[in-house]
Structure 1
């Protein structure tokens, strides 16, 4: 994968945009690395952040990846819960993956469970945005059948199960949930859900809480048109709330129920009535998406030192990312693929009283 350019190269590229034509030589400052797909640089004291992709997590071309991310920021920021897009620096010889400049959000990581209402409010505001006609939704993905759309991603990731080094008990847990999801999808259940602009990658570490208590999603590259239940689930699954040390929490079913009810109150009775029957099912689908991603990552990470590294268009090697971050991801992935952890996560819908009882379904 192409290396992130040095500061001098980034500075010259950013100066090509009229907003930053007077950028000083020493204004760019690297920010802490927390994600696998980007490096970030603070643009002096101007209130902007330069977001430089290292790879596409959708395995898109550099140009398509940048176009997709720009559309995410442009559309979600109208909710007031995502940074404004300032500039798009297209891919070229200096910037192989291009870059985006977005508004810097000053805030702190969410504290769970206290900030769950703020996260629910942010998602409700995004889900309340007008949805364009189908022919105007590109370049964002359009999952008019939310279950089928998610299952396509799950199946692509689940293909790695054949070569993953998994405990047989863990493999059985995943296989059981996959069988349920395939049957659920075959019944066409996803076509009956309301379609909204959704964030998709809503783990709490992707948000900041500003001075007014507003939750703002700052790592935004996977938005699409699909089921609001996906966002609600991904923000609060055990694999999300224990992913980032800054937002680590183990939520009870009661706390989850309160969070979902808060969201349903904000979106109003019409949307609440339409989405409520799908919330637990979409939680299971989102669980599968997260867990099969872990399976895929574990396999591709093992391949990273071999000749086939990067063959998928992704590179999660320590050479392309801070080794400490890679070690953290490996630790989390290992934890989530343990049989006991998989059973603990599935208990939300397999044991009574579960989340369905909290929601009154």
Structure 2
């Protein structure tokens, strides 16, 4: 199934015309993800843009709220200089039921690991260094009073899908054992602006070596250790076909230390490792959730979260299925568990 479809491109063209945005060509970009279609807008004047057209909301938000949330993600992260600028939004309508965002087109190559980890660490530090707004100005982004408890609750909520994922008893038991290792509290749980979706495939490297985080949908005020983990965990670095790499313990330690240097301050080791375990468990329970839901028919009415395979290129679905089965296997669960123990002793 070609994505975006011709009808979707025509709808985008109509909305751009309605908004008075001129261009000379629209080029569909490869379908590589589960949440958005992307179209390169070759503008007549000025720099090119990219249209991000949601296929669903990973935050389970209705279309208008989803656009408002993503708008805030781009606006809040932009001062750090390592994310695309947001130029405009296209409101939801019959032609584009989930609307769209028009963002800066980033020219660069895909990140390669481990060599681009220092640039990625600097990009994350630029995000995490943003001043924390007062409580009244944090909305619409998630800003839980206790970000660690909020993370645990989100992981445990997703863990409810373990019962429907048709996993072996041994795999389910191992995941529950890891859940039991999450500490109830952290000694350092200072919130920062985080992306919550920093796997390496979401970074592009410009010609000057600067890393740019291009996919911003789930930002919140949470714990930076979650982003560090999401960038460097096995379940993240082996996700994208184009940037797959298995990091050594030394690679991971160097990455954390580069970020600590760029930040000038850092949570303690126990906090960073706890965030790493929680992020890994978030990924595992998401895999269970996807395994249980992806064969459902697409949602034609709710327009919130929707993991239906009908929304995405079959080749992408095959890739996701392969990764999900791999990460939910006992050998890989044991592998990541061992890495966590080593990191605790070495960081």
TM range, smaller chain:
over 0.9
Structure 1 gap segments, 5+ residues each? none
Q: Tell me the distance in 2 between the aligned counterparts of 1:213 and 1:247.
A: 16
CA deviations over 1:314-343 (Å, ceiling 9, x no partner): 333332110100110000000000011111
Structure 2 gap segments, 5+ residues each? none
TM-score using structure 1 length: 0.90
Q: Tell me the distance in 1 between the aligned counterparts of 2:275 and 2:196.
A: 12
Q: Is 1:281 matched with 2:271? A: no
> Which residue is 2:283 aligned to?
290
Q: Tell me the distance in 2 between the aligned counterparts of 1:355 and 1:131.
A: 29
Q: Tell me the distance in 1 between the aligned counterparts of 2:154 and 2:139.
A: 18
Q: Is 1:48 matched with 2:49? A: yes
Q: Tell me the distance in 2 between the aligned counterparts of 1:96 and 1:312.
A: 8
CA deviations over 1:249-306 (Å, ceiling 9, x no partner): 01111111111111111111xx22x45441111101111111100000000013348x
SS of structure 2 residue aligned to 1:6: helix
Aligned partners of 1:126 and 1:198 also within 8 Å: yes
> Which residue is 2:216 aligned to?
220
Matches within 5 A, 1:1-361: 5-18=7-20, 20=21, 22-24=22-24, 27-45=25-43, 46-181=47-182, 184-185=183-184, 188-189=185-186, 192-268=188-264, 271-272=265-266, 274-304=267-297, 313-350=304-341, 354-359=342-347
TM-score using structure 2 length: 0.93
Number of positions where the alignment pairs a residue of Structure 1 with one of Structure 2? 340
CA deviations over 1:130-161 (Å, ceiling 9, x no partner): 11001110100013322211122112211111
SS of structure 2 residue aligned to 1:93: coil
SS of structure 1 residue aligned to 2:53: strand
SS of structure 1 residue aligned to 2:294: helix
SS of structure 2 residue aligned to 1:235: helix
Q: Tell me the distance in 2 between the aligned counterparts of 1:151 and 1:102.
A: 32
Distance 1:309 1:85, change over 3 A: closer
SS of structure 2 residue aligned to 1:331: helix
Q: Tell me the distance in 1 between the aligned counterparts of 2:309 and 2:56.
A: 14
RMSD: 1.9
SS of structure 2 residue aligned to 1:58: coil
How far 1:120 moved relative to its partner? 0.6
